[in-house]
Structure 1
């Protein structure tokens, strides 16, 4: 197992927990929704053979606690957090970025605002529903989830969300069969769902990518989706993004959470994608 260091970075309004593994060019992993750095644990050692891998808990999740009441543009704030880590850990070179779900939206906003700091972005299933032809229906669904959270609490909202996004179809072992570190991850992220529904669900899903700006960086953006997730709502916008950029969607193994359920083939393909930038 490759040595890993655990670190903390104070940023305005929060303190970020981040983990560094390996050597080589920086690869920043940005987790989805209510998740955290632990979502990538199973594939980090594989990626760290060729990269300095940095995974972190997004602001408000798990060990990255708010130090002030969250205010302002949640996407812009998330982008600022990612940029702060890149500037700290790779001040003289741009970073490779892999973002999944809301993490992919952070990546799209990052490369729009700070293209010089991104060497390549792999945008895995960004749920930017405003790109969809049926955006009105998708928007109504997420608003219903948010309203359910406000009326009935997180558990009911989570059931509605999972059913509407296909996450209830992800194949997970029985709780007693999970590795201890994955059980710890589930325990941590269950506590994050309040933050996600209260502060991030609507701002992230209604984020509209600046397609004209992204066209200036098509050589650095890889649209990606899980093989078992392509028909589900979070993955559908990436097909529209792919058409706009003129690049095919790279299909990764497994469902939306393939990085956890299929870590070895997922990490192998991700490494191949990153290496292709050098050829």
Structure 2
């Protein structure tokens, strides 16, 4: 692996190249992106593609990527422009892309704005709330995570996040009637750790979950778009957003092994099944319509 920095007026964007050199690869480069997950979250998955040049990066303001724009919010459209700048600088488009969670939202924004950048996009569990039939209630439930975090810190915020992401079905009155999630239920301490800048919990990524995909632009793009969903995610928020997005695109979701982070290895806090996940991703990328 080699580490690099792409300098732009707004960010010093850190990215990595793994596997064969770009000039030596027999396959299209494979770009793996997340949000707020950084490049390191994809190293295990990348190891299952030794025949491809894999490109990973740290989104603007996260990990090693240093912002110069004076902002702290995470925007899919802004991050899409960063990814476009990276593809352009490397001179490798169109590439294939695997995008996870908030990165999948960035990827949908990228295809809408720069349809020539990607040949195939596998967007795994994009958490875009506006596509849901219960969007208002889901947005309320999501906002409560940030409120818990701002009031009591990381452990309270993470407990609320787990409650949100493990709830199955629409967000009904039964969800909101529950008592606040107790960190102790998830093996976490209850004291306030004092942090208020977590990119997942603080509200700085609100533009990710509130993003509305440009469906006409996505349908018009030459990119083959596949929406992925984890087999263990059935009924939960990110499965529902994925299924709704796929329906708007007139496609059927591709079911992947494991859960929302099913490609992560044993060093992850919530490891998945990276080997079968990678096999499914390879199958999808190698299958042409």
Q: The TM-score by the shorter chain falls in which range? A: 0.7 to 0.9
> Secondary structure of 1:231's match?
coil
What are the within-5 Å matches in structure 2 for residues 36-55 of structure 1?
A: 36-49=38-51, 51-55=52-56
| Structure 2: distance between partners of 1:209 and 1:257 | 22
Within the alignment, does 1:276 sit opposite 2:287 as a pair? yes
| Structure 2: distance between partners of 1:195 and 1:242 | 27
> Secondary structure of 1:98's match?
strand
- Equivalent residue number for residue 65 of structure 1: 66
* Greater displacement, 143-152 / 96-105: 143-152
Structure showing the higher helix proportion among its residues: 1
What are the within-5 Å matches in structure 2 for residues 59-98 of structure 1?
A: 59-70=60-71, 74-89=75-90, 91=91, 93-98=93-98
Distance verdict in 2 for CA 1:92–1:58, change over 3 Å: closer
- Equivalent residue number for residue 163 of structure 2: 163
State the 1:72 CA deviation: 7.4
Please say if residues 11 and 67 of structure 2, whose CA atoms lie closer than 8 Å, have aligned partners that are also in contact.
yes
What TM-score, normalized by structure 2, do the two folds share?
0.80
Please say if residues 37 and 56 of structure 1, whose CA atoms lie closer than 8 Å, have aligned partners that are also in contact.
yes
Report 1 or 2 for greater relative contact order, CA contacts < 8 Å, sequence distance ≥ 6. Answer: 1
Q: CA RMSD in A?
A: 2.4
Distance verdict in 2 for CA 1:32–1:72, change over 3 Å: closer
Distance verdict in 2 for CA 1:112–1:227, change over 3 Å: same
Within the alignment, does 1:121 sit opposite 2:98 as a pair? no
| Structure 1: distance between partners of 2:158 and 2:74 | 23
Number of equivalent positions: 251
State the 1:220 CA deviation: 0.9
| Structure 1: distance between partners of 2:61 and 2:155 | 19
Distance verdict in 2 for CA 1:10–1:243, change over 3 Å: same
Gaps of 5+ in 1: 169-190
| CA displacement 1:103-135 (0-9 Å, x = unmatched) | 000000000110011111111000011000000
What TM-score, normalized by structure 1, do the two folds share?
0.82
- Find 2:208's aligned residue among 204, 207, 215: 204
Q: Which one has a bigger Cα radius of gyration? A: 2
| Structure 2: distance between partners of 1:210 and 1:93 | 22
